[in-house]
Amino acid sequence: MIEHIISTLPQVLIDGLALGAVYAIIALGYTMVYGILELINFAHGEIFMTGAFIGTALFITLSGLGFLAVMPALLALLLVLIVTSILTGFLGVGIERVAYRPLRKAPKLITLISAIGVSFLLQDLVRFITELKKGNYILTGPSLFTEQISIKASSILSSFADAQIKSSTIILVVTAIVMMIGLDYFVNRTKWGMAMRAVAQDRDTASLMSINVNKVISLTFFLGSALGGATGVLFAVQYGTIDPYIGFILGLKAFTAAVLGGIGNIRGAMVGGLVLGLIEMFAAANLSVITSNVFTAEYKDVFAFIILIIVLIYKPEGIFGKAVAEKV
**Residue ranges that bind another protein, judged by CB under 8 A:** 4, 7-8, 11-12, 15, 18-19, 136, 138, 140, 143, 146, 148, 161, 164, 166, 235, 239-243, 245-246, 248-249, 280-281, 283-285, 288, 293, 296-298, 300-301
CB of 79 to another protein, least distance (A): 24
CB of 128 to another protein, least distance (A): 15
Cα 272 from Cα 79, distance rounded (Å): 29
Cβ 56 vs Cβ 240: under 8 Å: no
**Residue closer to another protein (CB basis): 13 or 213:** 13
CB of 255 to another protein, least distance (A): 16
Percent composition of the chain: helix, strand, coil (DSSP 3-state, to 5): 75, 5, 20
Cβ 96 vs Cβ 221: under 8 Å: yes
CB of 260 to another protein, least distance (A): 19
CB of 289 to another protein, least distance (A): 8
**Residue closer to another protein (CB basis): 115 or 237:** 237
Cα 256 from Cα 19, distance rounded (Å): 14
**Residue closer to another protein (CB basis): 240 or 317:** 240
**Residue closer to another protein (CB basis): 158 or 210:** 158
- CA distances in angstroms from 226 to 4, 75, 91, listed in the order given: 40, 19, 9
**Residue closer to another protein (CB basis): 214 or 288:** 288
Q: Which residues pair with 151 in a beta bridge?
A: 163
The Cβ of residue 40 has, within 10 Å, a number of other Cβ atoms equal to 19
**Residue closer to another protein (CB basis): 251 or 261:** 251
CB of 148 to another protein, least distance (A): 7
Alpha helices in 165-241, H assignment, sequence order: 167-189, 191-201, 203-208, 213-239
